[in-house]
Amino acid sequence: MNRKDLEEVCQEIGIDSELLINSVNRISKHLRVNTLRINEQQFEELLRFTELSVKRVNFLKHPVYEVLKGRPGNTFLHTFGFVFSQSLSSMLPVFILKPEEKSCVLDICAAPGAKTTLCAELMKNTGAIIAVEQNKKRMEALVSNLRRMGMLNVCCWHKDATQINPKPIFDHVIVDPPCSSLGVSSGYKIFSKRAMKKLTKKQKLLLNVGWEFLKPNGTLVYSTCTLTYAENEKLIEEFVKDKGAAIEEIDTSKFPGSRKGLDGLGIRLIPWEFKSEGFFIALLRKEG
């Protein structure tokens, strides 16, 4: 760990580095019910055949649960695609995007499929989702999860998104690029400002590519599981100035424990406040 770099970025965003380290190592685990396979009542009835203990996340309409005891991945609920283990923070970008039925969605860095499968659920297996992933091993995990969850409206593309010729044909785009992972367990151990700067270049490139794929009046959600200013608000602010994108307001009152992003851009999920991974989320609209 580069302690000096960690202290500097924490000071920049106004958080305590020790509090960050302690909180990301005690993050609650969550799961969501795959409503394409079973409903919430059926899930709760099936729980009796597992050793899981869960608590409903009541501020979401979708059946999402905090895992209090047990490992969902070791249960038949996981095997048969009835549930997907995913951090609560990771679910929010899709709930904020709100893809409609029969819409066309592009997920640029799709593997292992957490956001892709949630999109398919909300779209009720209608429309079309193009899931792009460059890494072969991660692509295998993506395909496996799509099969397990019964997603029928997803086409996977093993490709570097930056090498695709963009055409504005999508209603919605998800850009969840590689980041410094400062909001997740052990991310602080590998953090360095040098690596962060390199990642920021890739994030800008992917965000620009995603924007070119978006139809006029379409929406793009940008999210990272890191808390740095450079990879989040600063990047979005520069992008908005360059592209003339409109920033959609995200109502933090709908997500208790969330807070407005720095400079009022997007929202931040701080681990010890939101009780899940550290995240940044911004919703952009292409006016036209």
Q: Is residue 268 part of a domain?
A: yes
Please give the share of the chain, as a percent, with pLDDT higher than 70.
100
Give residue-wise pLDDT tens across range 69-82.
Answer: 999 999 999 999 99
Give residue-wise pLDDT tens across range 156-169.
Answer: 999 999 998 888 99
Give residue-wise pLDDT tens across range 169-196.
Answer: 999 999 999 999 999 998 999 999 999 9
Query: Is 273's pLDDT higher than 80?
Result: yes
Q: Is residue 247 part of a domain?
A: yes
Task: Note the pLDDT of residue 64.
Answer: 98
Tokens of 21: 């380290």
Q: Is residue 224 part of a domain?
A: yes
Lowest mean pLDDT across 162-166, 241-245, 282-286? 162-166
Alpha helices in 105-246 (DSSP H): 114-122, 136-149, 193-213, 233-243
Mean pLDDT of 214-239: 98
- Is residue 225 flagged as an active site residue? yes
Nearest one of 262, 96, 110, 62 to 270, comparing CA atoms = 262
Mean pLDDT of 90-111: 97
Alpha carbons 149 and 157: distance in angstroms, whole number: 18
Mean pLDDT of 204-216: 96
Give residue-wise pLDDT tens across range 27-76.
Answer: 999 999 999 999 999 999 999 999 999 999 999 999 999 999 999 999 99
> Which candidate in 10, 104, 109, 225 is catalytic?
225
Task: Provide the CATH number for the domain around residue 124.
Answer: 3.40.50.150
Q: Is residue 272 part of a domain?
A: yes
Mean pLDDT of 105-129: 97
pTM of the model: 0.96
Q: Is residue 273 part of a domain?
A: yes
Number of domains in the chain: 1
Query: Is 271's pLDDT higher than 80?
Result: yes
Q: Is residue 242 part of a domain?
A: yes
- Give the model's confidence band at 217: pLDDT under 50 very low, under 70 low, under 90 confident, else very high: very high
Task: Note the pLDDT of residue 2.
Answer: 81
Alpha carbons 9 and 193: distance in angstroms, whole number: 8
Q: Is residue 3 part of a domain?
A: no
Q: Is 238 helix (H, G, I), strand (E, B) or coil?
A: helix
Q: Is residue 187 part of a domain?
A: yes
Q: Which domain holds residue 240?
A: 88-285
Mean pLDDT of 84-101: 98
- Give the model's confidence band at 1: pLDDT under 50 very low, under 70 low, under 90 confident, else very high: low
Residues 6+ apart with CB under 8 A from 147: none
